[in-house]
Amino acid sequence: MKILEINGKKAIAEFLNVQREIRLDAVPHAKVGDHVMVHAGLAISLISSEEALDIQNMWKELGEDVELFI
Amino acid sequence: MWSFSSDSPVRIMEVCGTHTHELFRTGLRFSLPPWVKLISGPGCPVCVTDDRDLAKVIMMAREYELTVLTFGDMLKVNTEFGSLASLRSEGRKVEIVYSPVDAVTYAKQHPDERCMFVSVGFETTMPSAAVAVKEAIELNIGNLFFFVNHKLLPPALDALLSTGDMDIDGLILPGHVSAIIGRRVYEPILLRHGMPGVITGFTKDHMRTGINLLLNLVVHHEAKVLNAYPEVVQEDGNPQAKELIEKYFEPTGAHWRGLGFIPNSGAKLRPEYNHLDAEVAFPVSEPMVHPPHGCRCGDVVLGTVDPVDCPLFGTVCTPQNAVGPCMVSSEGACAAWYKYGGLRHV
């Protein structure tokens, strides 16, 4: 997910046009514009924009409703 | 040097349920040579949750009139005591949450309800659950309790590899769990068992690379743990996530479907957070449970049988009317086989 806004340890992040509030407790150096891997509402790792694109493509190919999964 | 054939294949276990599904979905499973056999492992958290633990949740909800907050996959898992979905039909509130922190938000918004969050999952989910515990304390939420049933992967792998029945040549290790715990933690376990392993991501390219590296280790008899997902997985994992886990949880013995009781393979709240522990607040007697008749989910998570070897698979047990958790969970091996593989050996 791409971080759009940061408010303390909370952030708004987006993936394929779906926005969610996530927590940044485990990636304290994350900045707006960074891509993060999110699990159960918590960012667990920073990822490169290339990796983020690969994951986006995988989901597009999957064709399932992203909102149900993120 | 080596001679594998379709009669005597290299046997690779993909430990993680997401890998099982992605190997099917991307078609990679079908494009492997016949001398490579993939076996699904115990990496689906819903599938390895023991019926007695779920039965306890159901008993607690009934006896103490609790609102149950849970991840969606847990809802339809059946026990002799019913399922979380059946609690709903009895008039109890069972709410699906997207993250553990959502459970805190729900409890805050419903102060007149006593809420229990069913906290399951491997090391990947534990930091998120730890943040929820932290938040519940900071916001002084008095009506939220945690039923902590987390599972730790390394002790389970150790137990799995220690069972005499396992016939595995290498492990595809999970990318997301490893993002938290790192690569190094696997080394003493896998080396002790002479077992190669490769930490692998989830795109088709990641998985192809991971399998190629693993096959290379297997055919050269090299028991190493390689990291084929370095963009996400560090040598020692995510230090902040591990700190959160250690602050709020401690290891405890846990029952696993298929694997039985494994010492130090689960997590519970540390004693200083006992006041948030649902099992302390709402004690129930230990339920006696038996797996559904004919269901071989326990053997499926061990990888000793394929889903199609279960007599219920695809007939009595389907995603629409699932008998065992391996069919209920979206990460379960039976659900993957049914969706992508059909009723045959693949």
What CATH code is carried by the domain that includes residue A41?
Answer: 2.30.30.140
Q: Running DSSP on this structure, what letter comes out for residue B267?
A: E
Cα(A19)–Cα(A2) distance, integer angstroms: 9
Between B243 and B42, the more confident residue is: B243
pLDDT tens across B98-146, in order? 999 999 999 999 999 999 999 999 999 999 999 999 999 999 999 999 9
Q: Is residue A69 part of a domain?
A: no
What is the value of pTM for the model shown? 0.90
pLDDT of A12-49, one tens digit each?
A: 999 988 899 999 999 999 999 999 999 999 999 999 88
- Residue A70, domain member (yes or no): no
CA pair distance B109, B100, nearest whole angstrom: 15
* Cα angle B170, B150, B210; round to 5: 25
Q: Which residues of B touch A47 (CB under 8 A)?
A: 231-232
List chain B residues with CB under 8 Å of A26.
127, 238, 240-241, 244
Q: Where are the alpha helices (DSSP H) in B11-50?
A: 17-25, 28-31, 45-48
CA distance B175 to B161: 20
Q: What are residue B92's phi and psi, to 5 degrees?
A: -80, 155
Note whether residue A14 is domain-resident. Answer: yes
Write the residue in B102, B202, B205 that is nearest to A41 by C-beta.
B102
pLDDT tens-digit profile of B268-306? Answer: 999 999 999 999 999 999 998 887 888 998 889 888 889
Alpha-carbon distances of B46 from B77, B245, B266, B307, rounded to whole Å: 8, 20, 14, 16
Domain count, chain A: 1
Look at B100 and A41 and tell me if their CB atoms are within 8 Å: yes
Question: Does the distance separating the beta carbons of B125 and A28 come in below 8 Å?
Answer: no
Q: What is the pLDDT of residues B169-187, one digit of tens each?
A: 999 999 999 999 999 999 9
Contact B176 A51 (CB under 8 A): no
Question: Which of B125, B131, B176 shows the shortest C-beta gap to A25?
Answer: B131
Q: Could you give the ipTM of this predicted complex?
A: 0.84
Asked if A39 has any chain B CB less than 8 Å from its own CB, the reply is: yes
Q: Cα separations (Å) of B3 from B36, B219, B223, B232?
A: 12, 9, 18, 35
Is the residue at A32 inside a domain? Answer: yes
Dihedral sign computed on CA atoms, order B299, B305, B308, B309: negative
CATH 1.10.150.120, domain B1-339, yes or no: no
Q: Identify the domain containing residue A36 by its residue range.
A: 2-64
